[in-house]
Structure 1
Amino acid sequence: MPLQKGSENCITDVSGVLVGHKTLYEKLNDDETICTGVTAILPHPRNLFYEKVRAGCHVINGYGKTSGLVQIEELGLIESPIMLTNTLSVGPVMEGTVTYMLKQNKEIGDAAGTLNVLVGECNDSYLSSMRLQAIKPAHAIEAIENAKGRSAEQGAVGAGKGMVCFGYKGGIGTASRIVTSADEKYTVGCLVLSNFGKSDDALFTSFPKKKKNPNNTDGSIIMIIATDAPLYDRQLKRMAKRTAAGLGRTGSHFDNGSGDIAIAFSTANTYPHNANAHLHTIAALRDDNQAMNQLFQAVVEATEEAIINSLKYAETTIGQRGRTIEKAPL
């Protein structure tokens, strides 16, 4: 039986989670168009460096240029906003996020050690003149400062402005599900940056098949999972793995050149940067608790719908060289 949707059907249904966008769209001349942006996901509105959240990640197919995943694998913690952008802009977005965090935390790089910033990307070069490197560090800061807790804008916005999915306009999509177990209720939210699939791969029967696929690469997707369930990093990695089932439901088969990457975090059991005690104790769900199966189901359902919503809410977009990507017939 399908699970109940959250009130906004959005990753922000997980209390405290914020989403912000900075969209760049400008036709420079007949050949060049800037059609790109940055999206920021904040696990909570407080100081992320001093109140880290537990996290896990999973690489389904590794054709991606992310930053920060190595430390998630090692320590199971997130200590910065999660940033999304285009392939050639990981550097400036990381720089901007570092600048934002340094301003917020005077001790970073000195008394408090260094910082691990998370940046994920997809290739928007079919629509956007990506070689112009229009994204600057200040745009990352704007995306963070634009972050709100209400229902997130979807479609061709932020990092999703120039993305293509199944030959139609893709981008940012989000969805959520509610899990009820005994007297406890948990929320699972998903936000995706969709940029994958050929039109003849899509399982949506309403999609007309295109004679020419505009994607000249295999495409990619970044999937962010948030939950308020009390899970720790190993369990969150298990959650991240389940995004593959939701992605597969839409018709993806994880092509050779595809970057299919998932990050999952929990807003429960935050981890303080500074603590005097040498032991840290948390309460976490048992793996054999019935709620775990429902949490896995929630990830699959929310991932699938978030991808569909990235298509549903996007609009027909004209990019560089007059290239036009149509809105999906949803």
Structure 2
Amino acid sequence: MQIPRRARELGITVGTLPTGPLNAITDVAGVRVGQTTITGDGLNTGVTAIVPDGYAGTLPAAVAVGNGYGKLIGTTQVEELGVIETPILLTGTLSTFRVADALLSWLLDRDLRATSLNPVVGETNDGHLSDIRRRPISAAHVHAALDSASSDRPEEGCVGAGTGTTALGFKAGIGTASRVAGPGRVGALVQSNFSGLLTVLGAPIPAEPIDADGNSCMIVVATDLPLDSRQLGRLARRAIFAMGRVGSDFAPGSGDYAIAFSTTRTPGYQDRELRGPFQAVTESVEEALLNSLTMARTTTGFQDRTAHAVPHDVIRNLR
């Protein structure tokens, strides 16, 4: 059985910009990630929580929609006001609403004066490997992910919201990466679950199609650059573009979303300065998507269905 390895450990270097120290979304100061994983008895699912410091005071943010076939809770207020005011949580499709309710309870316990909150919760459909109709996510699972959020490099592959996901014909999951962009950093975390032909640095890697219900991708982008909501929207759109670099076919049943936020509240960037951040987000999302695959393990789940990990020897031979 092969050992999960990040793309760079397999000799795959995406782009030209330097990575942050962890090559992860948590390279952006003040961003933490926590995860809860549920496996066994026909279940492969979980929760991934992206928790930026200072979210309660609202942080600049934007959402981009590649294809709106999904259940991303909280988008209209983010679009209207240009901010997030809660952590961002990811899970399986039919657990989205339970996760949002549990997130609200967690927030209300910490702010006794709050009368209105806009939870942001995204999903992909992990029903190929998990008994999705059981909706197994409880408040305890959500709270554990939030309470365990850390600035360490997040676990990748079959963990949290990526425990039961597949992408590009292989087992996939959670992936993360980062880039240094001038005076700041851009980091990405992805939940991969979409169709297409896996492409690594332009080389296709064919696989048997997986007959899975739902094909989607959630992308969360964090930066400490002083970007406003409109500029973050431009960043989020480029995050979705990066899916094409790894072979997404952008199928009509795919819910492809990107949420971008800045940990800096005071805008101070000119549009002409965005070339670096655009390159940074494209490279970091592409590498995060590859990590979501190379860090995944072959998994057998609901109704004995199996999704196989991408063979590392094939990727090494691309060098």
TM-score (norm 2): 0.90
| Aligned-partner Cα distance in 1 for 2:306–2:239 | 30
Q: Does 1:69 align with 2:69?
A: no
Alignment deviations for residues 182-212 of structure 1 (CA, whole Å, 9 cap, x no partner)? xxx11000000000014xx2223473432xx
**In structure 1, the residue corresponding to 2:277 is in which secondary structure?**
helix
- Post-superposition offset of 1:323: 1.2
Unaligned runs of 5+ in 2: 1-14, 313-319
Structure 2 letter corresponding to 1:226: A
Work out the CA distance in 1 between the residues paired with 2:267 and 2:134: 49
Aligned twin of 1:287 = 271
Which residue does 2:27 correspond to in 1?
Answer: 13
CA pair 217-322 structure 1, distance change in 2 beyond 3 A: closer
Higher helix share: 2
Structure-1 separation of matches of 2:59 and 2:98: 24
Matched, 1:146 2:130: no
Alignment deviations for residues 151-173 of structure 1 (CA, whole Å, 9 cap, x no partner): 11100000000000112111100
2:207 paired residue among 206, 209, 223: 209
Partner secondary structure for residue 65 of structure 2: strand
Q: CA deviation at 1:328?
A: 1.0
Please, which of 25, 39, 48 is the counterpart of residue 48 of structure 2?
A: 39
- Pick which of 201-210 and 55-64 moved more: 201-210
1:319 is matched with which residue: 297, 301, 305? Answer: 301
Q: Secondary structure at the match of 2:253?
A: coil
The yes-or-no answer on 1:266 pairing with 2:262 is yes
Structure 2 matches for 1:30-109, cutoff 5 A? 33-44=42-53, 46=54, 48-49=55-56, 51-109=57-115
* Counterparts in 2 of 1:12 and 1:118: CA distance versus 1, 3 Å: same
Alpha-carbon distance between aligned partners in 2 of 1:153 and 1:311, rounded to the nearest angstrom: 13
**Is the CA contact (8 Å cut-off) linking 1:154 and 1:309 kept in structure 2?**
yes
1:329, distance to aligned residue in structure 2 (A): 1.5
> Cα 1:136–1:309, aligned 2, differ >3 Å: closer, same or farther?
same
Aligned residue runs from structure 1 range 180-195, under 5 A: 180=182, 185-195=183-193
The answer to whether the 8 Å contact 1:156/1:314 transfers is yes
* 4+ runs deviating over 4 angstroms: none
The Cα offsets for residues 25-82 of structure 1, whole Å up to 9 and x where unpaired, read as: 012xxxxx011000000112x5x22x21110110010000110011000001111110
Note the C-alpha offset of 1:145: 0.6
Q: Who wins on radius of gyration, i.e. which is larger? A: 1
Which runs of 5 or more structure 1 residues have no equivalent in the other structure?
A: 28-32, 270-281
For 2:230 and 2:214, locate their aligned partners in 1 and report how far apart those are by CA, in whole Å: 30
Q: Do the aligned residues in 1 keep the contact of 2:89 with 2:120 (CA within 8 Å)?
A: yes
- Whichever residue aligns with residue 188 of structure 1, its letter is V
- What is the deviation of 1:218? 5.2
Equivalent AA in structure 2 for residue 157 of structure 1: V
Q: Which amino acid aligns with 2:43?
A: I
Q: Distance in 2 between matches of 1:59 and 1:206?
A: 26
Using the alignment, how far apart are the partners of 2:206 and 2:242 within structure 1?
22
What amino acid is aligned across from residue 149 of structure 2 in structure 1?
Answer: A
Overall identity of the aligned pairs, in %: 43
Q: Distance in 2 between matches of 1:208 and 1:166?
A: 9
Aligned length in residues: 296
* Larger CA deviation: 213-222 vs 35-44: 213-222
In structure 2, the residue matched to 1:168 is: 170
Distance in 2 (CA, whole Å) between partners of 1:35 and 1:117 is 24
Q: TM-score, normalised by structure 1?
A: 0.87
